[in-house]
Structure 1
Amino acid sequence: MKAININLYEHLDNQEVQLELDIFDPYEPVNTAQIIPFKPKVEWDESAITDLREGLLCNTLRSLVDGRTGVATKDESMAWLMSNDIDPFSFVVCCSELGYNPETLREQTLFTLNRLNTKSNNS
């Protein structure tokens, strides 16, 4: 298939404008449509969801104490930690489903972050 050519011809005697579209090259065979099968639907079982929640919680907490983590990522992680939203992968749901008390884990995390910030400011 070649690019679309658009030619405008203006007929001065009756002031008409004609639009000509050359979409297919006359010597190029037209390809027929191909049927592409859908990818199989991914089924999540409870253990996979639990693993994902655990990974999200651990990686988020790790990013908060890692000095190499950027400010935007830390801000996003802190907002997630401080949120009381109830969504499938919110902090509260991840903690509850993994057997942690969200308030206790939040307090311990904030205590640890304050301690780390105090140490780095004294250095």
Structure 2
Amino acid sequence: MYTTTNPLSQPKTLFPKEWVGVGSINPVWTDQAIEELQYGMIVSAINDLRDGRKSKLMQREAKNWIREDDYIHPLSFCNCCMSLGLDEERLRQLISHLIKGGL
């Protein structure tokens, strides 16, 4: 499971040596890289909802992604949570308390 000390930390910066395989026909994804992507997607969606400077469309897309009970698409909110060992319903409740108007 991917853990960090600050749940709203900044996204990881990629350096040139880490771009090996990016853009190739068969890029290699490590479990850690996938978990970092999933974690980053959740943090990004939360930040989009909390940031009043984001467009209404971005906020609506983030809200819809979080609310959808999708277990089919590999990068859905539910699958990201499951992969990271997070309870998606509990996380939805916490996010709802963070933002005005709830989810």
Query: Normalising by the residue count of structure 2, what TM-score does the alignment of the two structures yield?
Result: 0.69
1:72 to 46, 49, 57: 57
Q: Distance in 1 between matches of 2:25 and 2:100?
A: 47
Counterpart of 2:100?
114
Q: 1:72 to 1:103 in 2, by over 3 A?
A: same
1:115, CA displacement in angstroms?
A: 6.9
Question: May I ask how many residue pairs the two structures share in their alignment?
Answer: 78
1:76, CA displacement in angstroms?
A: 0.3
Farther off after superposition, 52-61 or 39-48: 39-48
1:77, CA displacement in angstroms?
A: 0.3
1:38-49 aligned within 5 A: 39=24, 41-49=26-34
1:58 to 43, 48, 51: 43
Counterpart of 1:29?
none
Q: Whose Rg is larger?
A: 1
Query: Normalising by the residue count of structure 1, what TM-score does the alignment of the two structures yield?
Result: 0.58
Q: Distance in 2 between matches of 1:108 and 1:115?
A: 13
Give the superposed CA RMSD: 1.7
Gaps of 5+ in 2: 1-23
Counterpart of 2:69?
84
Q: 1:40 to 1:81 in 2, by over 3 A?
A: closer
Q: Which has the higher contact order (CA 8 A, sep 6+)?
A: 2
Counterpart of 2:84?
98
1:97, CA displacement in angstroms?
A: 1.3
Gaps of 5+ in 1: 1-38, 117-123
1:114, CA displacement in angstroms?
A: 2.8
